[in-house]
Structure 1
Amino acid sequence: MLLLTIISWIVSIALKLFFFLVLLLVALILGYRFFYEPVKGVCVCKRDLKGRTVLVTGGNSGIGLETARDLAKRGAKVIIACRDAKKSEDAVTDIINSTQNSKVKFKQLDLSKFESIRRFAKEFNETEERLDILVNNAGCAGVKKKPTEDGIDTVMQVNYFGPFLLTHLLLDKLKASSPSRIVIVSSYAHVMARLNVEDLKGLKTKGYWTRYANSKLCNVLWAKALAKHLTNGVTANVLHPGVVKTDIFKRLPDVYRDIVLKIITLVFKTAKEGAQTTIHLCVAPELVNATGGYYRDCKPEKVSSVVTEELVDKVWEESLKIIQN
């Protein structure tokens, strides 16, 4: 009898703790939405992009898909670069059908493999006449700690080093097409980063969220470094799209994923809404010479106080060493 009472008490405490944690999660997410993202910015620019070529990584779903669709609607030649061929071919058909722009195609790219990136860039540089806008949109979340074949943590490679290498290899094409733009999708999560430049590959960094935040901080630092080093009519800006219901959450554990997606469905952005700041940075005429900025809801935003000139330079130099090894 005593044992049953103890078990019942433990179960009761566990249930109360579980519901408390769920309520706390709801409160935190709602607080974030209404205090940090009280509005949903919309790109109002109607600029035509006929004759322009755009490359969107991760353009087969979510924010990337809606970005590619909008730019195709403006008449651009749009190339979506993704890993999943079947899903990407379906996305191309969807974009063409919804925009009546037949100049949309797919090229295979796996950002978790430097060899794939180098092969992609070589083919792109040989076959494409120009590159006016490069949207580094692809990213991952909820991935377990695992090194890639290049010896880099998967989250750090897909979210940062892969796009870094891709952009580095396409710079000559961007310069030749100037004025051109590099747009990098980051996150407000960069303010929670605890980056150790000595472990930029992330192999010693513990905790998924720390690795994710570090990768997003690197995106911000990278945009500022590009702004310092590019003087040939190529601009680079970075953005926080908002918390958006996309496939990026699909790898979270079931119990967390279901709760997070239910809440996000109610209060956060759709993929189309989440793509607005990306689109704004791609097309807004007033940003033709703007570079090194961080944007949210189509407006400039302050970055974390850890973003200093010294850190920008250190991460840039170390990143170049890593991609060249």
Structure 2
Amino acid sequence: MSPTFDPKKDLVELKGKVIIVTGANRQSGLGYSTVKHLVREGAKVYIAARNEQQSLESIEKLKEDLRLGPGSDGQVHFLKLDLGDPRNVKKVAEDFMAKESRLDVLVNNAAMVMAPFEKTSDGISKVVVTNLISPFVFTQTLLPLLTKTAQEEDSDVRIINVSSITHYIVPSIKKLETVEDLNQEFHGRPVAKFFRYAHTKLLIIIWARALHKHLNSLSSITPGASRITVMSLNPGNVDTFSNRWPLPWLWRPLVRILMTAPNVDVGVYPMVFAAAGKTIHEDREKYTGAYISEKRDVVDPSSNARSDKLAEELWILLQKIMKDMAL
């Protein structure tokens, strides 16, 4: 790990690059601050989120803070995306590909955190749909554009799944062969909602591992596929939530004692590093398929996340779910 990281010095050239960051609409969130750093350095970034009004307000705030005008290199746009509906997700991705000729970076950041256990009409847990199935559908649908961009000389195309250190607490997984293997309710466990969230954060690391392997297998038939850098990461300990708790004035000082980053703009350095860090471009082999810590190191995720067996099973299952949904 570099002892310091400065987004103003340590990012690749972003002018002309197109980036999507999902779930970046909330001004106190990780996605928003990530977008801010990327746009500041000249990228064209899409905030992909469900809440249009909140997103547009965030975009206006970014334009004001960064002094973005019609002639600015950096741009920020809204892309309406509801991860609760995989069918809508596919259409949004298709519409995006119809209007944009490139996509350099996709940051799968949006997630449902604490929610009751409910199933969709497809029989899949809503938190699994939002945090895994829909991001998978979105990414798979965008792969032709990502691959096309990766064919360019000196390309630097990246797919980043924002996970969490919480994935380490998930109990050992025996298999991922059926939808019910995904629909873990964790009934009877204290804070079951938290375990369900952590479970999905584990699943997207496993998926990233499987996607990396899949893209490498396409190298002989799809030029550019193996040049896409796939990563998952722990964004670090940042307080983006205490303001939404009851009595935030009481909890905020206690929560922030446990946080390692002084503020969100610094706390998102691992995400900004993954999205555009020069170090990754210079040593792609080290980072592709890797799990990155909040210190921007390549580290081992949990034993579940490192399982080739689970990665293969999940990949097959996700393909089947897409087929069953006629996607």
Q: Classify the TM-score, shorter chain.
A: 0.7 to 0.9
- Residue 259 of structure 1: CA displacement? 6.1
Q: Say whether residues 1:51 and 2:23 are aligned partners.
A: no
Aligned-pair Cα RMSD in Å: 2.3
Summarize the alignment of residues 143-162 of structure 1 with structure 2, pairs less than 5 Å apart.
Answer: 143-162=115-134
Match of 2:276 in 1: 283
Number of equivalent positions: 284
Superposed CA deviations along residues 256-276 of structure 1, whole A, max 9, x for unmatched, are x77654422344133223311
TM-score normalized by the length of structure 2: 0.80
- 1:138 pairs, out of 85, 103, 110, with 110
Superposed CA deviations along residues 19-49 of structure 1, whole A, max 9, x for unmatched, are xxxxxxxxxxxxxxxxxxxx99765614330
Change (3 A) 1:248 1:145: farther
Match of 2:237 in 1: 243
Match of 1:70 in 2: 37
Query: Please, which moves more after superposition, 202-211 or 212-221?
Result: 202-211
Query: Please, which moves more after superposition, 146-155 or 260-269?
Result: 260-269
Summarize the alignment of residues 23-34 of structure 1 with structure 2, pairs less than 5 Å apart.
Answer: none
Distance in 2 between the 1:320 and 1:311 partners?
14
Alignment identity in percent?
A: 29
Higher Cα Rg, which structure: 1
Superposed CA deviations along residues 77-134 of structure 1, whole A, max 9, x for unmatched, are 1100001111000111111222234521101111111122012111111111110000
Match of 2:221 in 1: none
Distance in 2 between the 1:304 and 1:77 partners?
35
Superposed CA deviations along residues 231-281 of structure 1, whole A, max 9, x for unmatched, are 32111101001232224984x6x47x7765442234413322331111101
Which amino acid is the alignment partner of residue 236 of structure 2?
A: G
- The SS at the match of 2:182 is coil
Gaps of 5+ in 2: 70-74, 217-224
- 1:234 pairs, out of 228, 234, 258, with 228
- 1:215 pairs, out of 182, 197, 200, with 200
- 2:182 pairs, out of 190, 201, 211, with 201
Distance in 1 between the 2:170 and 2:243 partners?
19
- 1:86 pairs, out of 47, 53, 60, with 53
Change (3 A) 1:152 1:203: farther
Match of 1:265 in 2: 256
The structure with the greater share of residues assigned to helix is 1
- The SS at the match of 2:103 is coil
Q: Say whether residues 1:295 and 2:267 are aligned partners.
A: no
Q: Is the 8 A contact 2:24 2:35 kept in 1?
A: yes
Q: Is the 8 A contact 1:136 1:185 kept in 2?
A: yes
| Regions of 4+ moved over 6 Å | 39-42
- Residue 203 of structure 1: CA displacement? 5.8
Superposed CA deviations along residues 271-320 of structure 1, whole A, max 9, x for unmatched, are 22331111101112331323111111211111112221111111111122
Distance in 2 between the 1:73 and 1:210 partners?
36
Gaps of 5+ in 1: 1-38
TM-score normalized by the length of structure 1: 0.81
Match of 1:190 in 2: 167
